[in-house]
Structure 1
Amino acid sequence: MIVKNEAATLPKCLSSVKNVVDEIVVLDTGSSDRTPEIAKAHGAKVHHFQWNNNFSIARNEALKYVTGDWILVLDADETLTPEIAPQIHSAIQSEEYLLINLVRNEVGAEQSPYSLVSRLFRKHPDIQFSRPYHALVDDSVSEIIKKEPHWQIGYLQGVAILHKGYQKTAIAQGNKHAKAQAAMEEFFKAHPDDPYVCSKLGALYVETGKIKEGIELLTRGVRASEENYEILYELHYHLGIAYNRLQNPQQASAHYQAAIKLPIYPILKLGAYNNLGNLLKAAGDLKNARKAYETTLKIDPNFASGHYNLGMTFKALGLFTDAIACYQKAIKLNPSYAEAYQNLGVVQLKVGNVQASVTAFKNAIALHQQHNPEEAKRLRQGLQEMGLI
């Protein structure tokens, strides 16, 4: 790990690997809080390094202190899932793997909920991180495999890492967009046809409102990506988002469908199926929207947004009992899902369950009050006018 001022999140992260790893190496890059003390209290060997705005240099410094045969990389806002530990221990017994990719769940992310990350790899003298912001070992692994073709790259099924760094508050607190953009633009100058940086920087441009620049970069990445299907998926996925922002549903849909057709691990396609469903629902194609959402739930039965969106489709089809069941599943998976409570209230009222409707609306108001007080006020006024509260 490399860390700086992570006292709030570090205990949970380190506790998640406590009975999984043989050693914990933490490189502190200038904390002013209790991060080093917390790391030591969890049994970590703590080393210090002066931060120089380059994640790869810091991560390569951390690698110098590793004594084990295999390396697992985590950030302080991540935790390892308990159920993945047996799979990790089994996989690293295999002699053919040089790198094992892990599925990461982006907790609370508005877009793509799963990604594949290269975080588990063998200690090899030529493996090192590259790229200043999204530091990866992939470039060096590719070079090693060219020279030593007996090595293979694998991946573990099931979610291995939970990541909370893509929630809006975390991004705002860490000034993440500005840091990422500056580092990636510098790298892009020297590597203008690198599909990975085209994907990440293009997606960032789209997210921050520079849609035209984002589309140019993402399209360039598609042309350059060859058979790197995971990156190609991300490029098409973010092009879908970009064209949707430009209110061009036809182009957006074409990119989501191109993303879905790629031969990658199904869980990574969840975002594309969900967003395609949203486009179809908005266009009034409720039959195919329903199919898209049902596919998301076959891939991941715990996808709360999938249950909610399927509920919205059932509501539009007039299948109110099915809609109620979907909203209830979404709420069970995400108890702070204000929109699910709100629509549950609407549908309960339609079927005549007035008391259940009022309860759902009150829950929606309480949740909206925390993040969207205007919506809470509007909802409260509507219920008062109807004489329900």
Structure 2
Amino acid sequence: MTQTHNNPLITLCMIVRNEAETLARCLRSVQGAADEIIVVDTGSTDSTPSIARSFGARIIRFPWTGDFAAARNAGLDVARGTWILVLDADEELDPESIKELLVCAKHLEYEAFFVRIHNHQGTDRDSPTLTVNPILRMFKNNKDYRFNGIVHEQIAAGIVQATPAAAMHMSPVIVHHYGYAEGVVQKKDKITRNLELLKAQLERSPEDAFNQFNLAVEYMRLGDYGQALEHIRTSLDCVVPNTSYIHLLYKYELRCLAVTGNIPGALEACDRGISLFPDYPDLHHLKGALLLQVSAFTEAKAALSQALAIGASPPVYHTEAGIGTYHTHVLLGQVCQQIGQETEAIACFTRAAQLHPEPWPVIARLVRLFKCSGRSHDLRGWLAEHLPASLAEQRPKLVRLLVMDGCYAAAADVMEGGAEALSVAAWLKPLRRADAASAVELEFSGISALLEHPVIAGADARPAAAEAVAATVQPWICLADKALAALGASSVFSPAAAAIRLALPLPRPAD
């Protein structure tokens, strides 16, 4: 469906400045989708322009004026495509979305398309997705469609103003964004820059709801939740009904209230949000988290169950990865654990481990629950039956986790079931002895020796500092667990001991 440059279908429009580290990846990702590339350069001093030219881009020199919308519009002024696609240099189009984008471009009955921005923890698309945000990024090339806002610039208002009946569609197109990865925001000092621009815009338009919303976001990033809350509430007072980000205002309002200790206020804000957006799983999940915090376990279970009933967020909402799925299962498991519903808690943690892209912290919870409910002997069979087969290839990691949590017999069972059993046969005996030993008989040195055995210590490459901390602390945790487990069921202290065992620090498999 690629067009000639004389009659381009999709024009990619970007603004850049010193983006040499990431620009090539972005431009490479749109090959086969974009027929024309317009790069507005606001003053690069590195190789950004030459990289852009190597992909056939047209470079527009635009001196920086402190106005992102003006820079964006400079690119739109020269674009020739039927459609405008907007990306930033720290983004890339998902390879599977090229065809989807071309399908969208066939539907001329729409004026614009939203795409799903996946904000990553790291700087590549294999890194965990932290949040998913629907943002309008492809729209018809119309001289009346122009960006507004000197920072966090938007095109939707301009489209609606020019075409009040404009039809906009939520597409399945995915764009990966790495600009919020650890260190990137600090490196570019984005928060300071954004605050300065937003405050300047606030002076011009004090009742601009979107500007108030963006100020709140920046203050939340700074940890100033009181200031953020003021801007959120001003935005709620000014915002036009059905505006796309209203659901986020309620979500951020309740978070600011919760962080500042106002749990009743946070729950009230949550309920107001749910009344307007009953299919938004994030609000139900957060309500469950708040109720768990105040030990309202029955209500927390109901809220989290509702989030799971909805499942992954509908694409119109900003969401965090795992809400409505694995993170909610973990939280529900914690609630069930608190009220003694161990079987249901095990089911929740198991489902979370099945869905989680990084399941080991959840497996640690599962191991702890099996141990504290007296079912350590069932662990090997349960994990083999219910967890992905790929985890079987990480047997040393599982054995290490079991030993670190004092599940010595279970660790021996796992090792005996593996191909390496003969090579570590001598090591299985001390594991069995440690499992049979009483709290008095078990010694710090004995546990340390188990943790330092090559089968365990060599399972993962660990930083020296983390290794030293684990070697010092973990044996004491195991000894405390053994002593607490020794309190018989008839002891008056048994319920408290059981609760403390569950609350002891979980081992981290990476330690």
Q: Which TM class, normalised by the smaller chain length?
A: 0.7 to 0.9
Counterpart residue number, 1:79: 92
C-alpha separation in 1, matches of 2:252 and 2:116:
19
Structure-2 change in CA distance of 1:185 and 1:295 (3 Å) = farther
Counterpart residue number, 2:143: 125
C-alpha separation in 2, matches of 1:323 and 1:214:
35
- Offset, 1:7: 2.1
The 8 Å contact of residues 146 and 155 in structure 2, kept in 1 or not, is answered as yes
One-letter code aligned to 2:267: S
C-alpha separation in 2, matches of 1:154 and 1:366:
49
Match of 2:133 among 115, 119, 131: 115
The 8 Å contact of residues 284 and 304 in structure 2, kept in 1 or not, is answered as no
Structure-2 change in CA distance of 1:113 and 1:46 (3 Å) = same
C-alpha separation in 2, matches of 1:231 and 1:43:
36
Q: Does 1:141 align with 2:154?
A: no
Counterpart residue number, 1:43: 56
1:288-316 Cα shifts (integer Å, max 9, x gaps): 25315524644489944641442243242
Q: Secondary structure at the match of 2:65?
A: coil
Counterpart residue number, 2:474: 383
- Offset, 1:274: 3.3
Bigger mean CA deviation after superposition, 284-293 or 196-205: 284-293
- Offset, 1:378: 5.2
- Offset, 1:379: 4.9
Identical-residue share of aligned pairs (%): 21
- Offset, 1:183: 0.6
Counterpart residue number, 1:322: 347
C-alpha separation in 2, matches of 1:75 and 1:296:
32
The 8 Å contact of residues 185 and 191 in structure 2, kept in 1 or not, is answered as yes
The 8 Å contact of residues 195 and 231 in structure 1, kept in 2 or not, is answered as no
Structure-2 change in CA distance of 1:283 and 1:158 (3 Å) = farther
Counterpart residue number, 1:346: 368
One-letter code aligned to 1:384: P
Q: Secondary structure at the match of 2:51?
A: helix
Bigger mean CA deviation after superposition, 69-78 or 309-318: 309-318
The 8 Å contact of residues 273 and 295 in structure 1, kept in 2 or not, is answered as no
- Offset, 1:180: 0.9
1:75-224 counterparts in 2 under 5 A? 75-108=88-121, 113-145=131-163, 149=164, 151-224=165-238
- Offset, 1:263: 5.3
C-alpha separation in 2, matches of 1:30 and 1:52:
11
Q: Secondary structure at the match of 1:238?
A: helix
Matched residues, number: 375
1:281-339 Cα shifts (integer Å, max 9, x gaps): 223324225315524644489944641442243242423532442452354x1x3x774
Q: Does 1:225 align with 2:239?
A: yes
Counterpart residue number, 1:256: 270
| RMSD over equivalenced CA pairs, Å | 3.4
One-letter code aligned to 1:140: G
Q: Does 1:359 align with 2:381?
A: no
Structure-2 change in CA distance of 1:275 and 1:7 (3 Å) = farther
The 8 Å contact of residues 342 and 369 in structure 2, kept in 1 or not, is answered as no
Q: Secondary structure at the match of 1:79?
A: strand
One-letter code aligned to 1:182: E
C-alpha separation in 2, matches of 1:132 and 1:152:
24
The 8 Å contact of residues 150 and 198 in structure 2, kept in 1 or not, is answered as yes
C-alpha separation in 2, matches of 1:225 and 1:311:
35
Match of 1:272 among 253, 259, 283: 283
- Offset, 1:112: 7.7
Q: Secondary structure at the match of 1:92?
A: helix
Bigger mean CA deviation after superposition, 214-223 or 87-96: 87-96
Q: Secondary structure at the match of 2:87?
A: coil
TM-score by length of 1: 0.83
One-letter code aligned to 1:12: R
- Offset, 1:348: 5.6
Q: Does 1:310 align with 2:329?
A: yes
The 8 Å contact of residues 202 and 214 in structure 1, kept in 2 or not, is answered as yes
Unaligned runs of 5+ in 1: none
- Offset, 1:161: 1.6
One-letter code aligned to 2:290: L
The structure having more radius of gyration, on CA atoms, is: 2
1:244-296 Cα shifts (integer Å, max 9, x gaps): 111112221232333344359x6xx4543432232132233242253155246
1:188-224 Cα shifts (integer Å, max 9, x gaps): 1111111111111123223323323222221111111
Counterpart residue number, 1:283: 294
The 8 Å contact of residues 225 and 231 in structure 1, kept in 2 or not, is answered as no
One-letter code aligned to 1:186: A
One-letter code aligned to 2:283: A
C-alpha separation in 1, matches of 2:16 and 2:360:
34
Counterpart residue number, 1:30: 43
Bigger mean CA deviation after superposition, 186-195 or 89-98: 89-98
- Offset, 1:71: 0.2
C-alpha separation in 1, matches of 2:199 and 2:309:
37
Unaligned runs of 5+ in 2: 1-13, 123-127, 381-395, 405-455, 480-506
One-letter code aligned to 2:291: L
